[in-house]
Amino acid sequence: MTDRPDASGKDPASYEREHDRGGNFAPYDKPEWGSDVMVDVLRGLGLRYVALNPGSSFRGLHDSLVNYGGDAIEMIECPHEKIAVALAHGYAKATGEPMAVLLHDLVGLLQGTMGVYYSYIDRTPVIVLGGSGPAEHDRRRPNIDWIHSANVQGEAVRAYTKWDHEPRSLPSVQTVLARAHRIAMEEPRGPVYIALDAGLQESPVLEPVPLDDLPRLAAVPSRLAPEPQALRRLAEMLCAAQRPVIVPSYAGRDPQSFSTLVDLAETVGIGVVETHWRLNFPNRHPLNVTGSTALEDADCVLFVDVKDMGKPTQKLDSVTRSIQSKLAPGTTVLDIGFNDVGISSWSEDYAELLPTDLQITADTAVALPLLLEECRRLVAADDDARAALRQAWREDLTARHDEVWAGWRATAAEKRDEVPVSTSRLAEEVWAVVQEHDWVLTAGTAAEWALRTWDFDAPHRHPGKQLGTATQIGISLGVALAHKGTDRLVVDLQPDGDLMFDAGALWVASRYELPLLVVMFNNRAYYNDWEHQERLARQRGTPVSRAHIGMAIDTPAPDFAALARSFGWWAEGPIEDPDDIRDAVRRAAEHVLATGTPALVDVVCQPK
């Protein structure tokens, strides 16, 4: 940035400080440029934030967002396009509302593709916008506009977005963006990509572009309801079962489903085996039998908005890749969800097809309350014998729940004083601090030990578990942004390997004062893959001692606390003594809650 004053007589640095974060900068009265019209449409869609890494292909839109739009849509600058998309992904998971992302031309789109793909498989509504062209070749800058442009730019992400388009005129911007918003928000949700031609952005507005119809154009249609007769039949089959179990996945995207599933489980007497793709059911509820043998003993399993029925119901031998079903022969299999709605012919995230006895295509946000009412009616007609059977299964499930939790506590107690810090001890010490506040866990669960230790008693506690490596810190930024200003303590149990991919993400949290407490789950390894190499070495008889090659994050070991401080964070560590964790986390939490700015505690842990 130059030190020379701009046309206002102010130096650019002071201008940025005054106007880039919450300043009172008045927008123009009417649109003068094509990008002004685009900003009016984006504002009309109710978008609050746009994440970006700078790019010249949307310089017109950038100027309009800053100067014409004022602060109506806050700009979140990111050091990489993938981080920008992941941030929007996390925000959408936590709020259920879409966030915009700006990606520079073809090259920025290619940088952001992994973020787009993970948003797609995780069903989050992200509105990805990209500069393109100009399409008019005589307006292109030599070389640079050519190598950064593509013929039909959306082809790069068409296989893993719900829709893509490129408006060719200013009047069509309204209808294209309105349709994009609808499609992103219609269930099952997902990302969309709209290329905004650089020439169109920078063209003057010659004729007014009415936006009076935008609210009606962008309105999201009603949810997909179940067929009544099929739902009634499913309720009868579920209530007739003697040992029913529910497996939910994405139902928890609707916060009301959290309590509805509790009511359904308690009314009928159903065990619940969580998948954690969203927070569907309280982990400490006595009917939560995750980790038990309830599925093996069930005579009826109801899947609730589950894409992959195999993972929770199959036993895997990782070395031989052999699979065996946990379900007993003759188990009744029921399903409510989107089934083949929106199925991809490219991504195979839909997993293996399992035989079912009855499937209902519906949005579970609509179907679950209706199913609950049907089941209440049927249970009310129970005779004494049927009521006794139902109660016996409830008591059996409660005993299984208690047994599983007792086993987890025993394992944690056995490893409590180990050095490096055991994963269970890490979860325990962080929970001792976190439980004193209204808290949110962003993504990672420290190898599921948070789920075995903490009390997930409300739907906002957790937007869903982490996805693959190189996704978590970006998603965590978005979750923290979603809860900014709520006085909630937003906690990220952050794997070291994931942060190594996107260390620059730490700058975003500091720059935008996100209330994020990061506790490093630092095992100094890409251990998920290391473990695979150990299994294969044992099978093949090769040295297990060499499995670490290409897997360790050591020699040198990264100093994550120093890294965080270099980006303006409060930070402490590395901590190796388990007795030192709690006080450090408490100091970090106090900093986050007092200042609204991020803090990091680096804890050196065992691999699992």
The 10s digit of each residue's pLDDT in 402-428 is 999 999 999 999 999 999 999 999 999
Q: What are the pLDDT digits (tens) for 433-464? A: 999 999 999 999 999 999 999 999 999 999 99
State the DSSP code for 523.
-
Q: Could you report how far apart the first and last alpha carbons of the chain are, in Å?
A: 46
What mean pLDDT is reported for the chain? 91
Higher pLDDT: 24 or 79? It is: 79
Using 50, 70 and 90 to split pLDDT, how confident is the model at 28? Answer: low
* Gap between the Cα atoms of 170 and 140, Å rounded: 19
pLDDT at 527: 65
Q: What are the pLDDT digits (tens) for 491-506? A: 999 998 889 899 999 9
pLDDT at 15: 32
Query: Where is mean pLDDT largest: 131-135, 237-241, 530-534?
Result: 237-241
* Gap between the Cα atoms of 270 and 244, Å rounded: 5
Q: What are the pLDDT digits (tens) for 264-320? A: 999 999 999 999 999 999 999 999 999 999 999 999 999 999 999 988 988 877 677
DSSP string over 78-135: -SSHHHHHHHHHHHHHHHS--EEEEE-HHHHHHHTHHHHHHHHHTT--EEEEEEE--S
Length of the chain: 608
| Residue 467 backbone dihedrals phi, psi, to 5 degrees | -105, -130
Q: Strands 126-132 and 74-77, how do they pair?
A: unpaired
Question: ∠456-122-599 over CA atoms, to 5°?
Answer: 55
pLDDT at 530: 66
- Judge whether residue 62 has pLDDT over 90: yes
pLDDT at 29: 73
Written as one letter, the residue type at 455 is D
pLDDT at 6: 34
Give yes or no for a contact between 293 and 403, defined as CB atoms under 8 angstroms apart.
Answer: no
For residues 236-261, give the mean pLDDT.
Answer: 97
- Judge whether residue 3 has pLDDT over 70: no
- Judge whether residue 18 has pLDDT over 50: no
| Residue 52 backbone dihedrals phi, psi, to 5 degrees | -160, 160
Higher pLDDT: 146 or 453? It is: 453
Q: What predicted TM-score, i.e. pTM, was given to this entire model?
A: 0.91
Using 50, 70 and 90 to split pLDDT, how confident is the model at 219? Answer: very high
pLDDT at 7: 35
Question: ∠426-429-434 over CA atoms, to 5°?
Answer: 115
Helix, strand or coil for residue 439? strand
DSSP string over 251-304: GGGSHHHHHHHHHHHHHHT-EE----SS--S-TTSTTB-TTSSHHHH-SEEEEE
Note the Cα 128 to chain centre separation in Å.
16
Q: Among candidates 234, 237, 271, which has minimal Cα distance to 364?
A: 234
| Residue 493 backbone dihedrals phi, psi, to 5 degrees | -85, 95
Beta bridge partners of 323: 316
pLDDT at 353: 86
Torsion of CA 512, 51, 444, 187, to 10 degrees: 140
Residue identified by tokens 């803090």 is: 599
* Gap between the Cα atoms of 440 and 106, Å rounded: 36
Higher pLDDT: 589 or 526? It is: 589
Note the Cα 198 to chain centre separation in Å.
31
Kindly provide the b/e burial profile for residues 471-510, where b requires at least 16 CB atoms within 10 angstroms of the residue's own CB.
bbbbbbbbbbbbbeeeebbbbbbbbbbbbbbbbebbbbbb
Give yes or no for a contact between 575 and 601, defined as CB atoms under 8 angstroms apart.
Answer: yes
Give yes or no for a contact between 599 and 565, defined as CB atoms under 8 angstroms apart.
Answer: no
pLDDT at 13: 38
For residues 11-21, give the mean pLDDT.
Answer: 36
Give me Rg for the CA atoms of the chain. 26
- Judge whether residue 349 has pLDDT over 60: yes
* Gap between the Cα atoms of 536 and 529, Å rounded: 11
Give yes or no for a contact between 519 and 585, defined as CB atoms under 8 angstroms apart.
Answer: yes
pLDDT at 608: 64
* Three-state secondary structure string covering 187-200: CCCCCEEEEEEHHH
